[in-house]
Homo-oligomer: A and B are copies of this chain.
Amino acid sequence: MNAYFPLFIPKSFFEKEAEHVEGFAKECAVVTHSRLEHDGKGGLKPAGKLTEELIVRPTSETIIGASFSKWVNSYRDLPLLINQWANVVRWEMRTRLFLRTTEFLWQEGHTVHETKEEALEETYKMLDVYTKFAKEYLAIPAIKGEKTESEKFPGAVSTFTFETMMQDKKALQGGTSHFLGLNFAKASNIKFQNREGKEEYAWTTSWGVSTRLIGALIMAHSDDNGLVLPPKIAPLHIVIVPIHRNEEEHKKVLGFIDELTSKIKHLRYNEEKIRLKIDDRDMRGGEKLWEWIKKGVPVRLEIGPRDIENSSVFLGRRDKQPNEKQSMNTDEFLDNITSILDEMQNNIFEKALNFQKENTINIDDKEEFYRFFTPRNKKNPEIHGGFAGSHWCGSSECEEKIKEDLKVTIRCIPLDAKEEKGKCICCGKESSKRVIFAKAY
Chain A residues within 8 Å of B, Cβ to Cβ: 4, 6-8, 11, 14-15, 21, 25-37, 42-44, 46, 48, 53-56, 86-87, 89, 91, 102-103, 105
Contacts and interface: CB of A to CB of B under 8 A. Distances in A.
15 contacts: A7-B89, A8-B29, A11-B36, A11-B44, A21-B44, A26-B35, A29-B33, A30-B31, A30-B32, A30-B33, A30-B34, A30-B36, A31-B31, A36-B55, A87-B87
Contacts of A32: 30-33, 46
B14 A44 contact: yes
Contacts of A42: 15
Q: Which 3 A-B pairs have the closest CB atoms?
A: A25-B36, A30-B33, A34-B91
A36 B56 contact: no
B28 A36 contact: yes
A7 B15 CA distance: 25
Nearest to A47: B30
A28 B37 contact: no
A29 B54 contact: yes
B44 A35 contact: no
B103 A7 contact: yes
A128 B366 CA distance: 70
A408 to B, nearest CB: 28
A28 B55 CA distance: 15
How many copies of this protein are present in the complex? 2
B43 A15 contact: yes
Contacts of A54: 29
Given A8-B103, A15-B42, A26-B35, 4 more contacts: A7-B103, A30-B33, A30-B36, A35-B91
Contacts of A25: 35-37, 44
Contact of A35 (B6, B27, B103): B27
A6 B36 contact: no
A89 B4 CA distance: 15
Nearest to A92: B34
Contacts of A30: 31-36, 46
A23 B53 CA distance: 24
Nearest to A25: B36
A43 B21 CA distance: 10
A83 B19 CA distance: 39
A137 B56 CA distance: 34
A33 B14 CA distance: 16
Given A25-B44, A46-B53, A87 B7 contact: yes
**Quick one: which of A33, A86, A87 has the most chain B CB within 10 A?**
A33
Nearest to A14: B44
Contacts of A15: 42-44
A23 to B, nearest CB: 12
B21 A28 contact: no
A36 B103 CA distance: 17
A80 to B, nearest CB: 14
